[in-house]
Structure 1
Amino acid sequence: MELLLPRRCAACGDPGTVLCPACREAFRRPPERVFTGVDTHVPAFALGPYDERRRAVIVAMKERNNREVRKYLGAVLKAGVDTLRARGELPERMTLVPAPTRRANARLRGGDPVADCCRATGLPVVGALHHGRVRDSAGLDARSRRRNLAGGVGLSQVPAGPILLVDDVMTTGATIAASAEVLFSARAQVVAALTLAAA
């Protein structure tokens, strides 16, 4: 199969592996606190900037249905959670809740890539959130994203105990804020948010 469909690095395109050693090194950064134009209501952390490498990997994960890189990003996410626990910024026990995604996008992408990354951590995961009628937020500013998400995030169940919200990219903070608001309204205990990258 490698001869017919050679594996290439999801970030730089070099042949031979899911992520080449140089690109793997770029994902070794510890999580950093980020602040956005929208109040996220909980401490928000990112595992690095939305630079060229991270963008290529996230596009491969979402738009090119690269399932192998989703597993790798799950390991990166788990390392970030472990670091935040060691720093005392997350509790020892918690449930990961992926940010909502549009159902049409999930169908096109062979499932929800952020949920796949969460499951690859081996930590408890509950898909508690879903999108109602919202349009794609690409290209929207902070105010437009907030308007777009207003009333557009639904709750299918309320996880017990501390919750960590997880998303791929944090741009304005609107998705994290809307997700936290819906969970807080159901008396859920959201303690923080963690994303793979911050734009």
Structure 2
Amino acid sequence: KRIAHEVHDVAGHLLASAHLSLAQMQKKAPQLRTGIAEVRRHLDRIEEQMRRLSHELRPTVLDDLGLLPAIRFLSEGVSMRSGLQVRIESPVVGRLRPPLEIALYRIVQEALTNVVKHARASQVHVGVEVHDGWIHCRVGDDGIGVDRSRASAGAPATGLGLIGIRDRVASLGGTLKIESGQDHGTELCIALPLESAHESSRRAG
């Protein structure tokens, strides 16, 4: 959250300074009006992207509305920047406990980043469901996939930057499965318990 505020505040200050400098330049050199207007349009687009990125780092929609609206907001930003088509399907309603919402948001965020960077995909599907006390999240793409021999050797954990996802899933007592094959895309299958181990033991006792 602190980083998100820093990005928003510092970048906003620098962009405001740039706009002021352009205004002064236009007064001194009116003949540059057309070029300055073009620069301002670029600055406006940069400001819009920085605002969206700062919200994606710690989206207020996650705190206010929950996981699925936050994932939709994230996906819209990814689509705008990369052209990737992101489809989200989920029958889940209501809120989850905060650690789960934050973890799943970060997992989907990292998974989409990996798809954009490595998969050469045009489409990605995100599905979230609840079954028997577990929440299941799948992120699948139509990209180049991963060679099964490399996958079995654990290469995707480093090559696709999945170490952070594995650690986050493990810290919550969940499981991560990677299904992939060359030219058949990649799908991450994450399962996390709806209750923490402490909550489960307390309820059992």
TM range (shorter): under 0.3
Structure having greater relative contact order (Cα 8 Å, sep ≥ 6): 1
TM-score, normalised on structure 1? 0.28
Say which structure is richer in helix: 2
